[in-house]
Amino acid sequence: MTDKKAVILLSGGLDSATVVAMAKAEGYSCYTMSFDYGQRHRAELDAAARVAKDLGAVEHKVIGLSLNGIGGSALTDSSIDVPEAPTVGIPVTYVPARNTVFLSLALGWAEVLGARDIFIGVNAVDYSGYPDCRPEFVEAFERMANLATKAGVEGQGFSIKAPLQNLSKADIVKAGMEHGVDYSLTVSCYQADDQGRACRKCDSCRLRAEGFAAAGVSDPTRYF
């Protein structure tokens, strides 16, 4: 096992699965982290566990949170409908502070493990317009991480890596195929059923389907 460790945020979706495979190809020992944060369905957590196992993660950790306690998103508040058509501006599927919270916990685990690299699958090309997917956010979090930690102030700084940042969804699919990602294991849908079948209508389903089509790759997604 390599001494080069990375903590990788793994949602169970297409993007984060690709990031795990890319980190593995770079020679990292992969420690994957998912969150049971009060989201609409657990299918993505089951998918994350499958992906972590398939790609050989050293350890897969699931952290329980209650972001549904503050609500404010169609993904954490069942009274808010998931939109099934493109919207203008930041959509209601944005979860307030989600990536800030997730990266903070990944940072804590990385410090415990002695890992210096944290991977996140955010993307600023084919994405839903979330403010915490932008390069400016990733750069700002990295600065904060090195101010806020014992490792950082002692000169053992952290790097927040977002290798998908400037890739199209098609390019992400192609990269994953090159690295052996089994996309049939993944779930991207905002409102998947208990079996992990996708709705075909939400923004995430649309972007995923367009990515496979543009990459010329057969879409393995199961729909209900």
**pLDDT per residue over 160-179, tens digit each?**
999 999 999 999 999 999 99
Contacts of 175 (CB under 8 A, 6+ apart): 18, 22, 164, 167
Q: Supply the pLDDT for residue 126.
A: 67
Using a pLDDT cut of 90, give the percent of the chain over it.
Answer: 91
Domain ranges of the chain: 5-215
Residue 68, judged by CB atoms within 10 A of its CB (0-12, 13-18, 19+), counts as: middle
Mean pLDDT of the region 131-137: 94
Q: Would you tell me how many other CB atoms lie within 10 Å of the CB of residue 184?
A: 11
Q: Topology of domain 5-215, per CATH?
A: Rossmann fold (3.40.50)
Q: Supply the pLDDT for residue 1.
A: 55
Report the predicted TM-score, pTM, of the whole model to 2 decimal places.
Answer: 0.95
Q: Supply the pLDDT for residue 116.
A: 97
With CA atoms as reference, report the closest residue to 167 among 139, 141, 135: 135
Label residue 30 by pLDDT band (50, 70, 90).
Answer: very high
19, 8 Cβ separation under 8 angstroms: yes
Token pair 């990266």 is found at 103
